Structure 1
Amino acid sequence: MTSPLPAAARLAWWGTSWLRGHVAADLVVDAVIDDQATHAVAGLGAMGLGGDGTETLVGGLARLRVEGADTIGAAFGVEGDPVGLGGPPAFNAAALEAGEAVVVTGAAMRALPGAPASVGLVPWVVGAATTWVAEPAGRRQLPDVGEADRALRAALPQTADLLAALEVARWRPEVADRLMDLRHRDGLDAPPGVPARCVELAARGLQALEIADLALEDDGGAITAAEAQARAQALRPLARAGRRALVAACSPEVWPPA
């Protein structure tokens, strides 16, 4: 069954749960692969973390665990809002191009001579195969769960009011329906260790991004260029809040204590 979560979110949740000993490896594979035929990890050897060439997803995660990794956090940055990314420029550029990435960390990793403080993994999809390419990653500045929650709760009604003023129901009735029924959203499957508050926040973040994407779909010229620009400006805060909510919900570094 296809998950509504992006690949980086699935890897962050299930990979972290496995690194911390909460789930078996086969559950990670089932959750992360989703509708893709294969997932692999490449580039760890070039970073001095052992291995050579490309290895399986579980093999790559196992190598990172041996090196002291215990946390995988997701990033969903876009141009102008690199949320979840902490550099260096090469990693940020690759993550922005892919639209998502994860950052693998662990207290023991920072103690390894010559090893990077964090390892970034960027997914590159070719056909039904996804390869997570490893690159050095810097320390991240993240929104905490409470901050992201408050920002999203504020953005939803503000966006609804702005879209109502733009007569959203005239050109996107399905968007108006979604805004009128914000309590209806699909539940998410999460592994042990993910706080219930983060599961709920991730679901609302996905809902916000879905509303923004739906409202920005091509309307076949039904509105003017000025109306389209006003629509995009109205949706920008909602999309930003949705991305930040998803990053916070999928970044164990800022999860509330169990």
Structure 2
Amino acid sequence: MLVEPRSGRLASWGNSLLGHLVSPDEAVVAIVGDDAVHRVEGLPGEAGPVGLTLALGRLRVLGVTGWRLALPVPGHPLGLSGPPDFNARALEAQEAVVGYGAPYGLVPEISEAGHPGDPADVHTEVVWHCLPVREAPPADVPSLGEAERELAEALRAATEALTRLDVAASGPVAEAALDAYRARAERGREALAPGYPPRAVRVLELAQRVALLVSVALDGGGTRLGGAVSASQIGARGEALRPVERVARRAQVAAYNAFVEERERGAS
């Protein structure tokens, strides 16, 4: 998962906004990114969709003091706390943000408009569905320290697995993907919004790199990366790398949630 989840951007910049570290305009521009428009539907007190600036302000008034990220997949409700309706919608989107301090969460619904034959004419619109959430600890989210240790072990495990399966983890496809990752970092992309601890930035960048290596190793059915080409070998590759992908997702969530976790520690 090299592409930053939209829910990660909202959690990160939403937290920075709540911490008075960026202006509402700065936060919304960063959250929207290259998309055309973001709206929020189901906001308490509103009959229809509203803009992101109004929505974030209203949720703050309603008591939200922080945002957590959820990256659930089937069989792993990572970052969710219920109820079932919210979990089901988040699982379908495979991402969500969960409010801290007030029982509200946001799940993105992404659509594209324009001429599909002309990429320059296609623009992305996002509707965030505001839904009630259960105020409870999120599922299966490690601390930053745990995430960092798990990532180091996962990187070793991935290297050993790819070597054992004779997968070329450093071929042209992998190098091109890593070059794109480095170029994006060199363009000054902020891994996290202002206010996050340096350790969270370090954990997120390592988690994204591990996730990238896993996605490259699993891409293309084997022929592009060399080595495993039979169905059984491809299956073995997936079995070996699935735990590594899980660790990378857990670490990404831990990094995005560090802002709230530090606030919780300071309040205790």
> TM-score w.r.t. structure 1 length?
0.85
Which structure 2 residues correspond to residues 76-155 of structure 1 after superposition, within 5 A? 76-106=71-101, 109=102, 118-127=103-112, 128-138=124-134, 139=136, 140-141=138-139, 142-155=141-154
Determine the C-alpha separation between the residues in 1 that align with 2:24 and 2:75. Answer: 36
Does the 8 Å contact 2:211/2:248 carry over to 1? yes
Determine the C-alpha separation between the residues in 1 that align with 2:3 and 2:30. Answer: 11
1:253 lines up with 2:267 in the alignment: no
Determine the C-alpha separation between the residues in 2 that align with 1:233 and 1:175. Answer: 21
Report the 3-state secondary structure (helix = DSSP H, G, I; strand = E; otherwise coil) of the residue aligned with 1:36.
coil
| Structure 2 counterpart of 1:218 | 220
Does the 8 Å contact 2:70/2:95 carry over to 1? yes
Determine the C-alpha separation between the residues in 2 that align with 1:67 and 1:159. Answer: 44
Q: 1:186: Cα distance to partner? A: 5.3
| Structure 2 counterpart of 1:243 | 249
Spell out, residue by residue over 1:183-233, the C-alpha distance to the aligned partner (whole angstroms, 9 max, x if none).
968544032211111111111111111111111112376700110011001
Does the 8 Å contact 1:145/1:254 carry over to 2? no
Spell out, residue by residue over 1:155-184, the C-alpha distance to the aligned partner (whole angstroms, 9 max, x if none).
111111011011111x87247759x99x96
Report the 3-state secondary structure (helix = DSSP H, G, I; strand = E; otherwise coil) of the residue aligned with 1:202.
helix
Determine the C-alpha separation between the residues in 2 that align with 1:175 and 1:93. Answer: 35
Report the 3-state secondary structure (helix = DSSP H, G, I; strand = E; otherwise coil) of the residue aligned with 1:219.
helix
Determine the C-alpha separation between the residues in 2 that align with 1:168 and 1:134. Answer: 43
**Aligned partner letter, 1:93:** A
Does the 8 Å contact 1:41/1:60 carry over to 2? yes
Report the 3-state secondary structure (helix = DSSP H, G, I; strand = E; otherwise coil) of the residue aligned with 1:68.
coil
Instruction: Kindly report the root-mean-square deviation, in angstroms, between the aligned alpha carbons of the 2 structures.
Output: 2.6
Match of 1:69 among 64, 67, 81: 64
| Structure 2 counterpart of 1:206 | 208
Does the 8 Å contact 1:19/1:71 carry over to 2? yes
Q: 1:58: Cα distance to partner? A: 0.9
Spell out, residue by residue over 1:77-129, the C-alpha distance to the aligned partner (whole angstroms, 9 max, x if none).
111111111111111111111111100122xx3xxxxxxxx211000011111
In the superposition, relative to structure 1, how do residues 80 and 12 fare at CA in structure 2: closer, same or farther (>3 Å)? Answer: same
**Aligned partner letter, 2:218:** L
**Aligned partner letter, 1:11:** L
Q: 1:153: Cα distance to partner? A: 1.0
| Structure 2 counterpart of 1:192 | 194
In the superposition, relative to structure 1, how do residues 10 and 148 fare at CA in structure 2: closer, same or farther (>3 Å)? Answer: same
1:173 lines up with 2:171 in the alignment: yes
Report the 3-state secondary structure (helix = DSSP H, G, I; strand = E; otherwise coil) of the residue aligned with 1:133.
strand
**Aligned partner letter, 1:119:** Y
Does the 8 Å contact 1:186/1:203 carry over to 2? no
In the superposition, relative to structure 1, how do residues 174 and 201 fare at CA in structure 2: closer, same or farther (>3 Å)? Answer: farther
Identity %: 38
Spell out, residue by residue over 1:117-144, the C-alpha distance to the aligned partner (whole angstroms, 9 max, x if none).
x211000011111011011112224311
Determine the C-alpha separation between the residues in 1 that align with 2:14 and 2:248. Answer: 22
Report the 3-state secondary structure (helix = DSSP H, G, I; strand = E; otherwise coil) of the residue aligned with 2:220.
coil
Q: 1:255: Cα distance to partner? A: 3.9
**Aligned partner letter, 1:133:** H
Does the 8 Å contact 1:205/1:243 carry over to 2? yes
